[in-house]
Structure 1
Amino acid sequence: MGLVVIFCLGVLNFAAHKAVLESGHSLLGQVPWLIQPLGGRLSLVVEFAMLLGAMVMVAAGSTGWAWLYALYSIVNGIAAWLIFSGRA
């Protein structure tokens, strides 16, 4: 069950991340070292590595990693909401 939840959170994280990348928000210019390599997709590679790591750890029986990834997803969602609402 934990893997399914982590996977669903990962899909939401990727959707929010890609939407923020495509928004062209001015905050993206402050982290060019993460955005410019691979045509702006290096940050998506990092996102995938985090998802994969969380899924491996949860599959190994560590529920703490599931909670950490859930917390990360909440923070990620709030950040995306702030960017799209014009508050950031």
Structure 2
Amino acid sequence: MMLLIMCFLLGVANFTMHKAVIESRHPFVEDTKRYFGRYLGPYGSYAIELALLTGALWLANEGSMLVSLFYLAYTGMNAIATWMLLTGKT
């Protein structure tokens, strides 16, 4: 149950960071939005984020510590990338 709660909270953090980056109007993000828009529609990147969260939650519910740790690492990388984009470090 603890893994499930952890993955859920990490998912909330990922979606929050994702929204902040999408709204940042950074040139890299704008190019990426055009790419996803062409193939997956305007919310394609959110769909991928949801698929990752769903998989992590499903496997966390099964007790997979490894997947939960990978999702934690993924969230950490997202936090670093978000910080870099929003502070102009890129």
What's the TM-score, normalizing by structure 2? 0.89
1:78 aligns with 2:80: yes
- Aligned-pair CA distance for 1:30: 3.5
The count of corresponding residues between Structure 1 and Structure 2 is 87
C-alpha change, 1:35 and 1:74, in structure 2 (3 Å) is farther
The CA RMSD measured in Å over matched residues stands at 1.3
State the percentage of identical aligned residues.
34
The one-letter code of the counterpart of 1:46 is I
What's the TM-score, normalizing by structure 1? 0.91
Answer whether contact 1:28 1:35 (CA < 8 A) is retained.
no
Aligned-partner SS, 1:24: coil
C-alpha change, 1:15 and 1:64, in structure 2 (3 Å) is same
Once the two structures are superposed, what CA deviation does each residue of 1:24-68 show, in whole Å capped at 9, x if it has no partner?
A: 1111234232255432x1101100000000010111121100000
Q: Which runs of 5+ in 1 are unaligned?
A: none
Aligned-partner SS, 2:23: helix
